[in-house]
Amino acid sequence: MENLRLDKWLWYARFFKTRSLAAATVSSGAVRVNGNLTHKPATTVSAKDVLTFAQGDHIRVIHIDALATRRGPAPEAQALYTDLSPPEPRIREKTPENPAFEGKGRPTKRDRRILDLSKARHLE
């Protein structure tokens, strides 16, 4: 097999849960094949093609290494492509500190009241 439909390949490579989701994404114009925007799920792709599409908040750049004949397990799907996209930056969420409680036993009733007031002010 030299060529394969774009929506089928995206489904085989497990980028989308269903083939219809892959076809809808391609139809919306969110996928580029070798830098050219495509709207047709039946666009043929082959090995050595480069796909660019958004997946969640992350832009994926995928180099097709091989074509599949079935939707197999994840390790088999990951062998179909090389991911060229930069790694996602890890963002740490800053958690609010508890001003009165230091982790030494149970907080007192006064400490809990102060904590509740600080949470209420934080939500306003």
pLDDT at 24 over 70: yes
124 falls in which pLDDT band (50, 70, 90)? low
Q: What is the average per-residue pLDDT within 22-36?
A: 93
Q: What is the average per-residue pLDDT within 27-44?
A: 94
CATH, domain 4-83, list 3.10.290.10, 3.40.30.10, 2.170.120.12, 3.40.50.150: 3.10.290.10
61-80 per-position pLDDT tens digit: 999 999 999 999 999 999 99
What is the pLDDT at residue 103? 65
Distance (Å) of CA 113 to CA 2, 8, 78, 108: 69, 58, 53, 9
75-121 per-position pLDDT tens digit: 999 999 999 988 777 776 665 665 665 667 787 899 889 988 888 87
Residue (of 76, 39, 78, 38) closest to 62 by Cα position: 78
Q: What is the average per-residue pLDDT within 46-65?
A: 92
